Amino acid sequence: MKAFTPSLLAIVICSTLVSAPSKASSHREAPNISRFPTLDSTDFFAFNSYEEGRGGFVTLIANYIPLQDAYGGPNYFAMDPDATYSIHIDNDGDAMEDITFQFNFTSTLPNNNQGVQLTVGPEGNQRTVSVPLKNIGGVSAGDDSAANFSESYTMAMVTGPQATGSKATLTNSSSTSDSFMKPLDYIGNKTFTSEQNYQTYADQYVYDVALPGCEAMAKVFVGQRKDPFVVNLGKTFDLVNYVPIEGDSAPGAGDTGGFPGGITQSMDNDDLVDKNITSIAIEVPKSCLTGDGNGVIGSWTTASLPQARILNPDASFANNAANGGALTQVSRLGNPLVNELVIGIKDKDAFSTSHPHDDGQFLDYVSHPALPELLNILFKDAVNTTLGAEIETLAPTNFPRTDLITAFLTGFAGVNQQATVTPSEMLRLNTGIAATAQADQSTFGVVGNDLAGFPNGRRPGDDVVDIALRVVMGRLCHPIPVGGVDTDLGLCVPEDASVGTVPFTDGAPIHATMMDASFPYLATPLAGSK
């Protein structure tokens, strides 16, 4: 081998528009990141923990590697060992990270990276051969001796800017080691016996972690989960190949009493129903995140690579490339949908590599958004024909979209506005608003009279697609129920939004009870084989 070395409720509702328009979270959202699936952040969640007894904690979940088919062997879905995955917290509003949690991964084979080997052939003509699979037998909680592959990771906490701040390596409190293990992906039920046994196996990889200057322990888990996002993905990107308005009198009513020909709620409309993702989840005491701010935190996730990568022409498992140079950000995600359908295609890669502090450069995409105009082109004539109407435009007409600018870049005093206001795109969470129990959560979050939900942070069961679509088409130009009283937000007027009260939807239902009620909250991944 050659060497290779080279008013409160109303105000919160407004921030829905930060998530922008349409029907996919952040799966393959920019040209360049589609070339780096292991660094592609699919969804980001930040919410006050609703597990019983964990009311003093915030959970942050960054999902990566989109559109995983459960049967995707033999290599399945390992993280990139050359990348740095980060979750950032701004707790004072200057749009600069005050705390960053960094994750770096290592992939290992047993037998000094030679892997499990078998002796093959008759006596006198035998060869020692490495096996091609990631396991050679059953794997269970407490016994992974048949595994032929493992992933570990180190975790660090950076206080101050990521590049120049004070960095502390975090340790696994159960072993005082600075190495944490990631479970094997859910290969199938011959390997793990059953879904319950796989979950028991994966539960071993939830760790308690001590944070510098923090009295209570944090928790961390990294591993494969069922993709929590629901979306009518294929038809949406085929020029919205359905009528995106509720076809029943109420979601799930089954009475066709809504818009004629409108889509009805069905799990058949969820194109991610058979997909997994890989989650980086951390639960942190609130007091250790808020710093000297006002209790509102801004957060986002990024993935970065060294600036240069040289491929090894004589590659091996442990030596396939050399990397060097400054850490360079290649993906970014705060609120869902932003890079998907707010940012123009020519600037999507720029957004992926940008920092919240510099988000003023994307102002035109917010003040003059393209999606409402596209929906107007696609559906105006059909709507007028169906209703016998003469609607001049379906798109809101208030320009600039001051409602979007406020929500997208500044936040709102008293709810999701931080101590200092710096225009920036982040997922903002008021840590002072108590969590809602799983069974009582509204999929419509704040709009559904649930202050603990989106856009006050984002929980796995929040229907960000329907919320965002309705708001971007002008819902905030019409009175909004606040404490049971219709309230004019003063951002625009009803005449600015001809379809602002229409129940837009992609027809893919979601609810918190589709997930777990405890950390790390996302459901057990789908098995590669039953």
Classify burial at 107, counting beta carbons within 10 Å of its beta carbon; exposed 0-12, middle 13-18, buried 19 or more: middle
pLDDT band (50, 70, 90) for residue 510: very high
Of 174 and 432, the structure prediction assigns the larger pLDDT to: 432
pLDDT band (50, 70, 90) for residue 22: very low
Q: Are 221 and 206 in contact, with CB atoms under 8 Å apart?
A: yes
The alpha carbon of residue 441 and the mean position of all alpha carbons in its chain are separated, in whole angstroms, by 19
**The pLDDT of residue 468:** 86
**The pLDDT of residue 128:** 95
Of 27 and 112, the structure prediction assigns the larger pLDDT to: 112
What share of the chain has pLDDT > 90, as a percent? 78
d(CA 263, CA 242) in angstroms, rounded, equals: 7
Q: What is the mean predicted confidence (pLDDT) over 477-485? A: 75
**The pLDDT of residue 345:** 93
The DSSP output letter for 447 is G
pLDDT in tens, 484-501: 678 887 889 999 999 999
**The pLDDT of residue 483:** 58
pLDDT band (50, 70, 90) for residue 19: very low
**The pLDDT of residue 482:** 62
**The pLDDT of residue 21:** 35
**The pLDDT of residue 281:** 98
pLDDT in tens, 60-74: 999 999 999 999 999
What is the SS3 assignment for 127?
strand
Radius of gyration for the chain, computed over Cα atoms and rounded to the nearest angstrom:
24
Q: What is the mean predicted confidence (pLDDT) over 202-210? A: 97
**The pLDDT of residue 25:** 54
- Does the pLDDT of residue 387 top 60, yes or no? yes
Q: What is the mean predicted confidence (pLDDT) over 352-360? A: 95
Q: What is the mean predicted confidence (pLDDT) over 426-433? A: 94
**The pLDDT of residue 173:** 83
What is the SS3 assignment for 309?
strand
pLDDT band (50, 70, 90) for residue 14: very low
pLDDT in tens, 32-61: 788 889 999 999 999 999 999 999 999 999
**The pLDDT of residue 484:** 64
Look up residue 217 and give its two tokens.
């322990």
- Between 152-166, 370-384, 394-408, the lowest mean confidence (pLDDT) is in 394-408
- Between 11-15, 178-182, 360-364, 443-447, the lowest mean confidence (pLDDT) is in 11-15
**The pLDDT of residue 487:** 80
Q: Are 395 and 370 in contact, with CB atoms under 8 Å apart?
A: no
**The pLDDT of residue 30:** 67
pLDDT in tens, 90-100: 999 999 999 99
**The pLDDT of residue 339:** 86
**The pLDDT of residue 26:** 59
Classify burial at 44, counting beta carbons within 10 Å of its beta carbon; exposed 0-12, middle 13-18, buried 19 or more: buried
Handedness of CA 376, 380, 383, 384 (dihedral sign): positive
- Does the pLDDT of residue 82 top 70, yes or no? yes
Handedness of CA 510, 512, 514, 515 (dihedral sign): positive
What share of the chain has pLDDT > 70, as a percent? 94
224, 204, 274, 207: which is closest to 63 by C-alpha? 224
- CB neighbours of 210 closer than 8 A, spacing ≥ 6? 170, 171, 173, 217, 218
pLDDT in tens, 239-292: 999 999 999 999 999 999 999 999 999 999 999 999 999 999 999 999 999 998
pLDDT in tens, 312-327: 999 999 899 999 999 9
The average confidence (pLDDT) of the chain is: 90
**The pLDDT of residue 481:** 73
Q: Are 221 and 259 in contact, with CB atoms under 8 Å apart?
A: no
Of 513 and 474, the structure prediction assigns the larger pLDDT to: 513
**The pLDDT of residue 23:** 38
